[in-house]
Amino acid sequence: MTKTVGVAGCGTMGAGIAIVAARAGYTVRVFDTNRDALERARVQTAGFLDKSVARGKLTTEERDALLGRLVGTTRIADLADCSFVIEAIYEDLAAKHDLLSQLDQVCPAETIFATNTSTISITEIAAGSGRADRFVGMHFCLPAQLMKLVEMSAGLNTSEATWVSAWAFCESLGQKPVATSDTPGFVLNYFLIPYHNDAIRLIEQGVASPEDIDIAMKTAMGYPMGPFELLDLVGADTQKLLCDAMYGLTNETRAACPPLVRRMIAAGHLGKKSGRGFHRYGDNKMFGA
């Protein structure tokens, strides 16, 4: 199996996926057109790994070796030697098709493409990849560097050989794959998007504060994070894209984006990455650091 993996997109999800692959021993080429995003991900990753050393989960030698396996680039051609490429950009079908079309031009025919989409049809994304038979859905959970679950979904044209290889690759990362059909939201976001929107509507209706709702859900339900802590990690801009995609596919009222989210985006209150969302933050460290 390949020892070189590509990750296209180095936002919150892409950076976490890159850590997972590098931690498993793979050389990881992380592509993003934004050089500042690559640098931000590098700094956040180093901080996360430093915390892992402080907690005794990594030695300094292991940290340095892991960082050495992570290679950031703004040149898509640098992914040409990858046998597995994971697309991890925002939830927009046209943008994904554009990226995958470029990747199809530079990657060998045998390279398997995966998408980290959480809402869009695998079959629809694969249709613009140039290799629908060598395409699979791999939805990592947020934060990817800490969560083991990966939702694996085949498109209508995904070959059996691709599915077997992708499943084995996922297990080689130390992740726990589960098989889902190619349906809106798969398992997790089928529940999570309406749940988050319901919580946001409680704020809109003045029922309780984000702080108290988070405390209530963590204390009563035993969740490690409250809905607004997780929403701030996801980002208001990403939540809007998730809602728009899910609502467009299902027409489910609870999936429709609450007006408050749009106002927060307009105000620049995107969540942890901007320093303010439903909560305020004094740093932009990666979750777990």
For the domain that residue 202 is a member of, what is the CATH number? 1.10.1040.10
pLDDT of residue 249: 87
Nearest residue to 153 (alpha-carbon basis) of 166, 171, 144: 166
Catalytic position from the list 52, 83, 116, 118: 118
- Count: domains in the chain: 2
pLDDT of residue 287: 65
Q: Are residues 155 and 210 in the same domain?
A: no
Q: Are residues 136 and 120 in the same domain?
A: yes
Q: Are residues 104 and 153 in the same domain?
A: yes
Tell me the residue type at 182: D
The reply to whether 289 falls in a domain is no
Q: Are residues 84 and 170 in the same domain?
A: yes
Whether 34 sits among the annotated catalytic residues: the reply is no
Which distant-in-sequence residues (6+ apart) come within 8 Å of 84 by Cβ?
A: 2, 5, 6, 111, 112, 114, 166, 169
pLDDT in 10s for each residue of the chain, 289 residues: 458 999 999 999 999 999 999 999 999 999 999 999 999 999 999 999 999 999 999 999 999 999 999 999 999 999 999 999 999 999 899 999 999 999 999 999 999 999 999 889 999 999 999 999 999 999 999 889 999 999 999 999 999 999 999 999 999 999 999 999 999 899 999 999 999 999 999 999 999 999 999 999 999 999 999 999 999 999 999 999 999 989 998 999 999 999 999 999 999 999 998 999 999 998 777 665 5
Nearest residue to 137 (alpha-carbon basis) of 96, 81, 107: 96
Strand partners, 8: 31, 87
pLDDT of residue 285: 73
Q: Are residues 109 and 171 in the same domain?
A: yes
The reply to whether 284 falls in a domain is no
Q: Domain limits at 203?
A: 188-274
The reply to whether 287 falls in a domain is no
Whether 118 sits among the annotated catalytic residues: the reply is yes
The reply to whether 283 falls in a domain is no
Catalytic position from the list 189, 196, 269, 274: 189
Nearest residue to 52 (alpha-carbon basis) of 33, 66, 72, 39: 66
Separation CA 118–CA 113 (nearest Å)? 16
Strand partners, 72: 30
Whether 274 sits among the annotated catalytic residues: the reply is no
pLDDT of residue 1: 47
Q: Are residues 207 and 160 in the same domain?
A: no
List b or e across 2-20, with b for residues whose CB sees 16 or more CB atoms inside 10 angstroms. Answer: bebbbbbbbbbbbbbbbbb
pLDDT of residue 74: 97
Whether 189 sits among the annotated catalytic residues: the reply is yes
- Can you tell me whether residue 4 is helix, strand or coil? strand
User: What is the CATH classification number for the domain harbouring 27?
Assistant: 3.40.50.720
Q: Are residues 165 and 126 in the same domain?
A: yes
Q: Are residues 192 and 176 in the same domain?
A: no
- Sign of the Cα torsion 110, 86, 19, 82 reads positive
Of 161, 180, 199, which closes a domain?
A: 180
Q: Are residues 219 and 147 in the same domain?
A: no
Q: Are residues 168 and 78 in the same domain?
A: yes
